[in-house]
Chains A and B, each alone.
Chain A
């Protein structure tokens, strides 16, 4: 016992350090909640906050329900059944994640608006003029559609990893006990995958809460609008941070509810042999229906917008300077690769700590790291800048010792940007890894420890191989997210540092969506490549 405690300590210390570093910048924001209410705050409360919050609630609940329905049903079909194109759909269904939602919004608007392909074709070829109101996507349902189509892969990926690693026994037992596929799905699959469903859906909800691009363009006023209105419009960043802090409070509340809901129920591997489920062969119209469903979702979330972007790329090819694009690709891949790797390593350490240490606080603490993901990137950026400038000022004596004469060193380097990514996207990686730890439980680890294998060796020999799926999906999610990230990259980058996403944003924000297609397509291409490499070639799990 003594020895075990001593060994856990090395992990505990690293986990503690990581968590403190992740929280540090958030302190600037949390303290904002205590700043006094000024007249701007009162005005916001009186005139707009109520309706903004209502809109936000509709937006997040509708998006959550739709992404869960789509993501979970697809994950279930892929892990349970054999049907045409299953192998392709299995990884391709993640692709919509590679399209930044604001680019998706501009693209869909581009397709359906007056000069878009649908209306012009009807007008020019068939002489049909339609009621423009029927083609308006810039409203609340439109925004829900956009978020659903480009964010459902969070739920899909996380639940699919869970279901595919699910020991056959639970579902097989259900099958043997004579439950049909529908009852198995509702009575077994949904309850046992609750953790991963909530994990995926909470990422979706937080992404919707922190996004500003789509709602701004569509003219929908949400809670995020209030944050930016007080900052940009009223020039009152204190009130705006106060609003962001309230948002964080709301997220903490949700997290606690989730923990309570999850309760003490644990589902982990029940036998030593984690066999994948034998796939059930679908035939005839059923197979056709499932394939069609998968292709339909993939078309809406990927093929249709990509076709439009390619069309625009051809239209505008040669009209914008392209000679620097190779540098943008290099920059994008570099920062996303470094940050994603760091996040996965940190998430493994913190996840291991949280699983081994008893007590509610230890379990809840890492969840709080998700706070950074709940508020708009621009606000996080301010917190990170503040923290790094303080750090730089603190380090000035050291800088002088090694002959640097400027005060700002770290905060004008890539280190600030990469740290910001880690703070912001840690939750994405952690969710994936936690769901993996959740699945394997501690029995195998304990057995290994009983056999006298050291903590660290056990971790690498026993846990990491079993976590492989979670590591891969976590890495991909974070990598793609950083590739398309926008406010942090814009605000925190060093001089002369452009990425594909800053380039895409630059054109889109000037209402030049056609010119933004080149950079957008490259983001999609690199993301797709990452997905293909990891899923097709590395994850050779038997189907």
Chain B
């Protein structure tokens, strides 16, 4: 028993000493780093850019590595959830080390801007690479990739001619056939937020209530689960993001591929208001100490080369119009997008939550 105790204590000491060493080295490096930052901000030649990102794709890391290779600027990354990262930046205040905030929803970008966390930046390159409707109107953030929220249908039970708009899904013929995930999901919040902008709050609420009454089941799972539920016969149509459908078609699991192949993709509202589109995008943090590097990274990510990788790896649409979408995305055809400023998605976000709660969209 004594021996056992000795071992436990020895382990504890070992861990503690490792801790001690580690923190001291950490401190010295951070000292060094901060000195460097100081010197370099003075000479404007810092070799770092600090990124807070809510995008978690492996391809992002590859792009950062490539950026470092090309420019010599190291990208330091903290990955997290958008709202939590925003809260961290907010609490860090003017002392924050963050230079660039990247997230996968225009609503969150709007919120960052609204909270005064971003600054306007401009460059000819950015204007050339990112179309105006995918930039914030005050140039506080820039879109980098886009995804559409579309209707996926069972090829056997639904003819594409039966489909037309998001609004039509509230009609009686779809009773008990519609699948969509829960209202805590930001893509649904942004979808409803866009309807509030286009059709007004009352109509949007009507739509949400109508859709709820046509639900095949209480919302559960993620976007992919809605597609699987179609295959399982729970419902016939689902609203989901394009890239999830792309991922399923290319899944490592042959069963998922089989499911996806039995499904069709439909871009709604082509003759009316257009299909709902959201973006991944980024904005430079107001107190950024490496502003130039942050802009360089934005330019790099929206340049044709990176845009190709972005879109290819995650089945997203590039924002840069000079870049062609991948074969798969091209096979889905061109489509008309909602013609609204993406900022409204954030503006109306809270309103959508209230509507979801009121109509009982779980």
Per-residue interface assignment for chain B, residues 46 to 57, with 1 indicating a CB less than 8 Å from any chain A CB and 0 otherwise: 000010000011
Contact indicator A385/B79 (Cβ below 8 Å): no
On whether the beta carbons of B83 and A232 are closer than 8 Å, the reply is yes
- The docked-state distance in angstroms from the alpha carbon of A514 to that of B349 is 32
How far is A498 from B78 in the complex, measured between Cα atoms in Å? Answer: 9
Q: Enumerate chain B residues within 8 angstroms of A320, measured Cβ to Cβ.
A: 58
A43 adjacent to B81 (CB under 8 Å): no
Residues of A near B4 (CB, < 8 A) are: 468, 538-540
Chain A residues with CB below 8 A from B11, complex form = 341
Q: Tell me, yes or no, whether B350 is within 8 Å of chain A by CB.
A: yes
A235 and B84 form a contact (CB under 8 A) = no
Do the beta carbons of B232 and A114 come within 8 Å of each other? yes
Query: What 0/1 readout, one digit per residue, does chain B (2-24) give for beta carbons within 8 Å of chain A?
Result: 10110110011001101100110
Contact call A341/B84, Cβ cutoff below 8 A: no
B122 interface residue per 8 A CB criterion: no
Which of B201-209, B223-231, B328-336 faces chain A?
B223-231
A127 at the binding interface (Cβ < 8 Å): no
B123 within 8 A of A: no
> B133 on the interface (CB 8 Å rule)?
no
Would you call B30 and A334 a contact (CB within 8 A)?
Answer: no
Residue of B nearest to A39 (CB): B354
- Whether the Cβ atoms of B87 and A406 lie closer than 8 Å is no
Q: Which residues of B contact A133 (CB under 8 A)?
A: 234
Q: Are B184 and A506 in contact (CB under 8 A)?
A: no
Residues of B within 8 A of A47 (CB): 357-358
- Is B91's beta carbon under 8 Å from chain A? yes
**Are B353 and A415 within 8 A (Cβ)?**
no
Which of chain A's residues has its CB closest to B256's CB? A115
Chain B residues with Cβ below 8 Å from A129 are 233
Instruction: Please judge, given known A-B contacts A228-B184, A235-B350, A405-B34, whether A411 and B92 are in contact too, CB under 8 Å.
Output: yes
B69 to chain A, nearest CB (A): 16
Q: Considering the complex, give the chain A residue whose CB is closest to the CB of B20.
A: A338
B residues within 8 A CB of A234? Answer: 349-350, 353-354
Select B91's contact among A315, A337, A389, beta carbons within 8 Å. Answer: A389
Inter-chain contact B83/A231, CB cutoff 8 Å: yes
Once bound together, how far apart are the Cα atoms of A498 and B111, in whole Å? 27
Once A120-B255, A338-B16, A412-B97 are accepted as A-B contacts, the answer to whether A114 and B231 lie under 8 Å apart by CB is yes
In the complex, the answer to whether B354 meets A43 with C-beta atoms within 8 Å is yes
Q: Mark B331-362, 1 if CB is under 8 A from A, else 0.
A: 00000000000000000011011100110001
User: Distance in Å from the Cβ of B166 to the closest Cβ of chain A?
Assistant: 20
> Does B95 lie within 8 Å of A132, measured CB to CB?
no
CB distance from A242 to the nearest CB of B (A): 15
| B261 at interface by CB-CB < 8 Å | no
Question: In the complex, which of the residues B37, B84, B181, B255 has the most CB atoms of chain A within 10 Å of its own CB atom?
Answer: B84
Say whether B218 contacts A219, CB under 8 Å: yes
Question: Which one of B76, B79, B234, B352 has the greatest number of beta carbons of chain A within 10 Å?
Answer: B79
Instruction: Answer whether residue B125 sits at the interface, using C-beta atoms and an 8 A cutoff.
Output: no
Within 8 Å of chain A (Cβ to Cβ): is B301?
Answer: no
B58 lies within 8 A of A321 (CB): yes
Chain B residues, CB < 8 A from A120: 255
For chain B, residues 40 to 94, give those with C-beta under 8 angstroms from any C-beta of chain A. 50, 56-58, 61, 76-81, 83-85, 87-88, 91-93
B293: shortest Cβ distance to chain A, in Å?
14
A341 close to B15 (CB less than 8 A): yes
Contact residues in B for A345 (Cβ distance below 8 Å): 12
Chain B residues touching A, majority SS: helix
* B84 & A408 in contact (Cβ 8 Å cutoff): no
Task: Name B95's contact: one of A225, A231, A407, A471 (CB within 8 Å).
Answer: A407
| Contact B88–A385 (Cβ < 8 Å) | yes
In Å, the complex CA distance between A498 and B23 comes to: 17
Of the listed stretches A365-373, A438-446, A486-494, name the one at the interface; the rest are far from the partner chain. Answer: A486-494
Interface residues of A in 448-479 (CB under 8 A from B): 464-465, 468, 471-472, 475
Chain A residue contacts of B189, Cβ below 8 A: 233
B219 contacts across to A, CB distance below 8 A: 219
Chain A contacts of B350 at CB under 8 A?
40, 233-236
Closest to B93 in A: A389
A113 and B127 CA atoms in complex are apart in Å by: 46
Verify if A54 is at the interface (C-beta below 8 Å from B): no
The distance from the CB of B193 to the nearest CB of chain A, in whole angstroms, is: 11
Chain B positions within 8 Å of A415 at CB level: 23
Contacting pair B79 A221 (CB below 8 A): no
**Which of chain A's residues have a CB closer than 8 A to the CB of B174?**
none
Q: Evaluate contact between A382 and B91: CB separation under 8 angstroms.
A: yes
Whether A217 and B222, one on each chain, are in contact in the complex, defined by CB atoms closer than 8 angstroms, is: yes
Contact between B79 and A490, CB atoms less than 8 A apart: yes
- In the assembled complex, B252 has its CB within 8 A of some CB on chain A: yes
Whether B225 pairs with A338 at a CB distance below 8 angstroms is no
**In the bound complex, what is the Cα–Cα distance between A471 and B83 (angstroms)?**
38
Would you list 28 pairs from A and B whose C-beta atoms are within 8 A, ordered by A residue?
A138-B220, A232-B184, A232-B186, A233-B350, A233-B353, A234-B350, A237-B87, A321-B61, A338-B18, A381-B84, A382-B84, A385-B92, A389-B92, A392-B95, A404-B30, A406-B95, A415-B23, A465-B1, A490-B81, A491-B81, A495-B78, A495-B97, A496-B76, A502-B79, A506-B79, A509-B56, A514-B253, A539-B4
